Amino acid sequence: MPALWSMIQANLKMSVRNRTALFWNLAFPAIFILIFGAVFGRDAGVSFTVGIAGEASALRDGTVAAMEAADAFAVEQGDAAAELAELEDGERDVVLVFGPAGADGRPAIDLAYDETDGPNARIAVAATRQVLLGVAGGETPLAIAERAVTSTEVSFMDFFVPGILAMSLMNSGVIGLSTAFVIYRERGILRRIKVTPFPLWAFILARVASQLLVAVAQSLILIVLARLLFDLHLRGNPILILAVILLGALAFLAIGFAISGFARNAETAASYANLVTFPMLFLSGVFFAVDSAPAWLQPITRLLPLRYLVDALREPMTRGRGIAEIWPDLLVLAATFVVAMAVAVRFFRWDARGA
């Protein structure tokens, strides 16, 4: 036990002094948060700029009045072609072009939005629709505008930070551990440990324990950063979130450990690790919801462990969900850990030569 503690302490010392690992584990996700936060996450009450053009009508006047009364909209009126050009320049979130009155006395409406704007555009369209339906149905526009604000209360940061947490846990586990163990083996460190009374399994346990401590510290730092700078809302049970962080870290550490058994040297370990992590980074809902991926990709995303970690972090953190909702995710992560660990133990080599 004192031997294990000596090794954990030494590992922590080494983690803090390893600048490259510090960058990838901490600075890299922090930069993501800063950049994405600066672009999308400025305020929780999102404001949309709506361009209104076309034929004059009661509906158009009502819409303009309703939007101007609500905080969530800034209204610009002008010529249809000019407004659409502004939309293409990114100066408008939505453009409404009112046509001439139809048979029922109501004008047809063209709603244009920028599809490259991602989730932001979807929210803008939904909010605009609410207003239009409200005005057409004769309800109080103000009440509808309030509902639109409610739907955007999950800020971009609330959505984004759990994804980035999952990403950094994956990277430090898969990339960090796989290369570390291959280097230990290449340099004869595993062999050196093997000629001391300190068992190899304890050496591995010490490394895993210190990586878990680093993972928790890393998650806390990222959460505090997002909270201080971008007003991240934290919901959900902190104990549950901590447990998810630990389970997720374990699952990805096991994958990294398994990779180290196959890789011949540190370079191949790094490329195998990238091969595993890179697709997951984009197909697991870190940056955008998996639901918005094309249908043919959906079954593939279901095979990726990161998707379940993202989900298990995001559901409690953004929506305050509990274990009753995320237990299937936790089950998949636990299964990932067990399978990857079995593969790792089966292919483990303490010596470059095998034998």
Partner 1 sequence: MPASALVRPAADSRLPTPDQPVIEARGLVKRYGGAVAVDGVDLVVAEGEIFGILGPNGAGKTTTLEMVEGLRAPDAGTIRVAGFDAVADPASVRRVIGVQLQTTALFDYLSAAELISLFGGLYGAPTPPARADELLALVGLTEKRASRVDQLSGGQQQRLSIALALVNRPRVVFLDEPTTGLDPQARRALWATVRGVRDGGATVVLTTHYMEEAETLCDRIAIMDRGRVIALDTPAALIRNLGMAATVRAHVGGDTLPAAALAALPGVTTIVPTDDPTALRLQTSDAQATLVGLLALAEAHRVSLTDLASAQATLEDVFLALAGRTYEQDEQDEPAADSHRPPAKRGRRR
Residue in 39, 88, 187, 342 binding partner 1, rule: CB under 8 A: 187
Asked if 31 is part of the footprint of partner 1 (rule: CB under 8 A), the reply reads no
Report the C-alpha gap between 213 and 29 in whole angstroms: 17
Asked if 20 is part of the footprint of partner 1 (rule: CB under 8 A), the reply reads no
Asked if 341 is part of the footprint of partner 1 (rule: CB under 8 A), the reply reads no
For residues 330 and 312, is the Cβ–Cβ distance under 8 A? yes
The helix or strand, by DSSP H or E, that contains position 49, with its residue range, turns out to be: strand 48-54
* Smallest distance, partner 1 to C-beta of residue 151, A: 49
Report which residue type is found at 337.
F
Helix 141-151 × helix 119-137 angle, to 10°? 160
Report the C-alpha gap between 188 and 341 in whole angstroms: 22
Report the C-alpha gap between 252 and 178 in whole angstroms: 10
Pick the closer one to partner 1 by CB: 14 or 220: 14
Asked if 188 is part of the footprint of partner 1 (rule: CB under 8 A), the reply reads yes
* Smallest distance, partner 1 to C-beta of residue 131, A: 59
Token duo for residue 309: 């970690």
Token duo for residue 79: 């010529």
For CA atoms 214, 17, 19, 261, give the dihedral sign.
negative
Pick the closer one to partner 1 by CB: 5 or 327: 5
The 8-class DSSP code of residue 104 comes to T
* Smallest distance, partner 1 to C-beta of residue 316, A: 35
Percentages helix, strand, coil for the chain (3-state, rounded to 5) are 70, 10, 20
Token duo for residue 71: 């905080």
Asked if 349 is part of the footprint of partner 1 (rule: CB under 8 A), the reply reads no
* Smallest distance, partner 1 to C-beta of residue 206, A: 10
* Smallest distance, partner 1 to C-beta of residue 10, A: 5
Site string for partner 1, 133-172 (x = CB under 8 A): ----------------------------------------
* Smallest distance, partner 1 to C-beta of residue 190, A: 9
* Smallest distance, partner 1 to C-beta of residue 267, A: 17
Report the C-alpha gap between 86 and 77 in whole angstroms: 11
Asked if 24 is part of the footprint of partner 1 (rule: CB under 8 A), the reply reads no
Pick the closer one to partner 1 by CB: 16 or 35: 16
Pick the closer one to partner 1 by CB: 43 or 351: 351
* Smallest distance, partner 1 to C-beta of residue 259, A: 20
Asked if 192 is part of the footprint of partner 1 (rule: CB under 8 A), the reply reads yes
Pick the closer one to partner 1 by CB: 45 or 188: 188
For CA atoms 152, 120, 304, 181, give the dihedral sign.
negative
Asked if 265 is part of the footprint of partner 1 (rule: CB under 8 A), the reply reads no
Token duo for residue 161: 């930070």
Residue in 13, 147, 264, 302 binding partner 1, rule: CB under 8 A: 13
Asked if 10 is part of the footprint of partner 1 (rule: CB under 8 A), the reply reads yes
Report the C-alpha gap between 150 and 146 in whole angstroms: 6
Residue in 24, 28, 198, 262 binding partner 1, rule: CB under 8 A: 198
Place of tokens 């979807």: 122
Pick the closer one to partner 1 by CB: 14 or 81: 14
Q: Say how many residues touch partner 1, by CB under 8 A.
A: 23
Q: Cβ atoms within 10 A of the Cβ of 171, count? A: 21
At residue 309, φ and ψ (nearest 5 deg) are: -70, -40
Q: Which residues of this chain interact with partner 1, rule CB under 8 A? A: 2-3, 5-7, 10, 13-14, 17-18, 187-189, 191-198, 353, 355
